[in-house]
Structure 1
Amino acid sequence: MVFDGIILAFIVGFLRKGNLKGLAELKLKGGLVFPLLLILQIAVFSLQNKISLLGNLSGYIFILVYVVGLWFLYLNRTHHGFMVIFIGVLLNFLVMAANGGRMPVSVEAAAVLDPYYVETLKQGLYGKHFLLSETTKLGFLGDIIPLSAPYPRTQVISIGDIIMNIGIFIFIQHLMVGDKNSEKDADTGLLQKEVN
């Protein structure tokens, strides 16, 4: 879902005659943290079923990734949209932390997905996700919202994912268009002063 939100934000940014200049000038505190967390998460996800010890620790590693990610977002909270992203990530973190580092997935919502995925969930073989049940804590924050046609990609998302994407959209729009509008306003103000 995050990938979809980023693509949509860039498309809207270009339609609004924005550019990527703000991206080139972007300065984030702890900037290397995000790509390192992404690499770690992909590595754990890929290897957790192959290395038994890693499979047992994967939930704790995912929690650690979220804690460091939240720290990174809070450190950069002055950037437009980052506090909204922080809230979305925090909601996902809360439900995962309450359930041993794994995200609950509603079987009803997962019905829109490949039957193989649902069967894997039922067998508990999918490391980062598990099937939501009556014993699940904070289940309403889990992946309970199905997306299917006419949406271009079939998937199941959480409330936190939606909020996170709103924050990403705000952030990218500000990077692509925000300063441009400020420059126009400044130019208009100078022009009015010259006329007066």
Structure 2
Amino acid sequence: MLIEAIILSLIIGLIRGGKFRRFKSVNHKTMWVLILGILIQYILVFLNKIEAIGKVNQIISHTKEIMIISYILILIGIFTNLKFRSLWAALLGYIMNFLVFSINNWKIPILIEGIPFINSPKLEEIIETGSTYLYTPITEGVKYPILGDIIVFAKPYPISRIISLGDLIISFSIFALIQEIMVGEDSFMGGYIL
């Protein structure tokens, strides 16, 4: 959902008269830390959805540690760029995601019943057999399942997936961040106060 938020926000930003040159006002060093943390999470999620092979299995066996490092990078990136008000919502989303991840044995609860709607039988199989380091099915023993991956984007949505409430908040925040940067303080985010 993050990719769609970025692309859509860039298009809308241009339609609204926004400028790409405004991205120069961003602290690039600390923003890259944020982007690196997000990228690490996306790669880890992808690797945990495929069948484990050799080196990939060695990497995903350290999912907990890699996720913790990515959250640290993301938090550094967010805290050093809080001048952008939209990042407060991203902070909330990442706190929600980290809470549910850490409190459930360092695994993300996922709605098994939603997997057939996203056409990913391999994912369902590796979750049910317990051969994934990242996901755990939502059962009675799961804490705060409402914060897990329970929101299903199925067909006709172009990229079907299951995301969490935190992911949804983060996507909206990134959309708003791009608008805030491209169009400026007096636009989309002008009336937004936390």
TM over 0.5, shorter chain: yes
Number of residues paired by the alignment?
Answer: 181
C-alpha distance in 2 between matches for 1:131 and 1:36: 28
Structure 1 range deviating more: 33-42 or 99-108? 33-42
Cα pair distance change 1:145/1:45, threshold 3 Å: closer
Larger Rg: 1
C-alpha distance in 2 between matches for 1:85 and 1:139: 20
* Counterpart for residue 115 of structure 1: 121
Q: 2:106 aligns with which of 81, 89, 101?
A: 101
Query: Mind listing any 5+ residue stretches in structure 2 that lack a counterpart?
Result: 188-194
Query: Mind listing any 5+ residue stretches in structure 1 that lack a counterpart?
Result: 182-196
Question: Given the two structures, how large is their TM-score scaled by the length of structure 1?
Answer: 0.79
Q: 1:60 aligns with which of 65, 74, 87?
A: 65
Cα pair distance change 1:170/1:32, threshold 3 Å: closer
C-alpha distance in 2 between matches for 1:44 and 1:116: 14
Q: 2:178 aligns with which of 172, 177, 185?
A: 172
CA RMSD of aligned residues (A): 2.6
1:171: how far off?
0.6
Question: Given the two structures, how large is their TM-score scaled by the length of structure 2?
Answer: 0.80
1:32: how far off?
3.8
Cα pair distance change 1:36/1:13, threshold 3 Å: closer
C-alpha distance in 2 between matches for 1:180 and 1:160: 27
In the TM superposition, 1:68-79 aligns within 5 A as 68-79=73-84
The question of 1:20 aligning with 2:20 is answered: yes
1:43: how far off?
6.7
C-alpha distance in 2 between matches for 1:44 and 1:85: 19
